Amino acid sequence: MRKIVVILGPTASGKTDLVKKLITKYNGEVISADSRQIFKYMDIGTGKDKSFFQHMIDIREPNEEYSVAEYQKEVYKIIYDIFSRGKTPFLVGGSMLYIDAVLEGFEFPCESRELRDEIEKETTVKIYNKLNKIDPISAEKNKLNRRRLIRALEVYLLNSRSQSEYRKIKPNFEYLLIGIDVPRQELYQRIDDRVDARINEGMIEEVENLLKMGVTHKRLQSFGLEYRYISEYLKTKNEKLKTTTQNLKLNTELEKIKQETIQKLKYKIHAFARRQLTWWRRNKNINWISSQSDGWRKAEKLISKYLIS
């Protein structure tokens, strides 16, 4: 059976640096498993590395919708195209649902943006109560995640079937899972350094540009923590500039808000990275390697053994 390699790990763990070392040795091509790098004009906030070719980057406009089902379908095409050219697909990223969709072969139910918008107007408690009456398993499973509660209710109302009733159709390839393990405090420091670097590279200006292009604050909220918090900062900044004459006191206040936003963003990304690791720790098939400089050597050994077996 044909084989792919999956490189995963929390944000800022060094996945891209690792795979850049591996694809030359193993005649590989990279498929991005990052739900945000799909979108154009979001380079700094999503950490796109354009120094080498990757599939599934910059394929949609920021205002376009793109579902996990569409991602799964497109990635399957790419994987089999890579196989046809005698090369090895490397699926690389940190978007857990996207990776699982490809590896597990989930069957996806119908979607409706209009229905989802209607559900989003309800409170989380009301959404939970509605879902609990028709699909108590999904309600209990997702009770702490508003976004997933909305999706589960949408699925049932559209399809008269719960999410758990949809099948998994295993794809016709094997996969090796390699996870990058980073000590907690080192990971936090990497995250903090990366946030600072991205701010200096122009991440705030990138969000301003998206707003000028017509991307709404609500839409930016859906693009993850960096875009959410910077969007909120810019909204606050613009409101204050509209109501207050610009002066030294206002500039000092805005700088304080900016620094508080950056610090809050760092803490939120720390928490997100912990959730990623918690999710993956449940998967006993992941081969964990160190984030230190010798980690890639273990990855090489794992891949070499896997590809010739």
Domain-by-domain residue ranges, the chain?
109-165, 184-271
Percent of the chain residues topping a pLDDT of 90: 80
Residue range 29-46: average pLDDT?
98
In single-letter form, the type of residue at position 184 comes to: R
pLDDT band at residue 118 under the 50/70/90 scheme: very high
CA angle 305, 308, 309 (to 5 degrees): 80
Whether residue 283 is predicted with pLDDT greater than 80 in this model: the reply is yes
Q: Report the pLDDT averaged over residues 201-205.
A: 98
Could you tell me if 155 and 162 are in contact, meaning their C-beta atoms sit under 8 angstroms apart? Answer: yes
Name the DSSP class of 164: G
Mean of pLDDT values over 282-293 = 91
Confidence of residue 108 (pLDDT cuts 50, 70, 90): confident
> Strand, coil or helix: what is 46?
helix
Query: Cβ(23)–Cβ(193) under 8 Å?
Result: no
| Amino acid 22: pLDDT | 96
Rounded to the nearest 10°, the torsion over CA 266, 271, 274, 280 is -110
* Type and span of the H or E element at 245: none
Average pLDDT over residues 279-299: 91
* Fold of the CATH domain 109-165: Histone, subunit A (1.10.20)
Range 211-221 average pLDDT: 96
pLDDT at 170 over 90: no
pLDDT in tens, 38-66: 999 999 999 999 999 999 999 999 999 99
Cβ contact 95:280 at 8 Å: no
The chain-wide mean pLDDT, for the chain, equals 94
What's the mean pLDDT in 229-234? 98
State percent of the chain over pLDDT 70.
100
Measured distance CA(250)–CA(256) in Å, rounded: 10
How many CB atoms are closer than 10 A to CB 35? 21
3-class DSSP assignment, residue 105: coil
Cα(136)–Cα(72) distance, integer angstroms: 27
Range of weakest confidence among 160-169, 190-199, 259-268, 283-292: 160-169
For residue 75, what pLDDT band results from cuts at 50, 70 and 90? very high
Question: Which pLDDT does position 253 carry in this prediction?
Answer: 93
Across the range 79-102, mean pLDDT stands at 96
Position 263 pLDDT exceeds 90 = yes
How many Cα atoms occupy the beta-carbon half-sphere of 172 within 13 Å?
3
Is residue 164 pLDDT above 80, yes or no? no
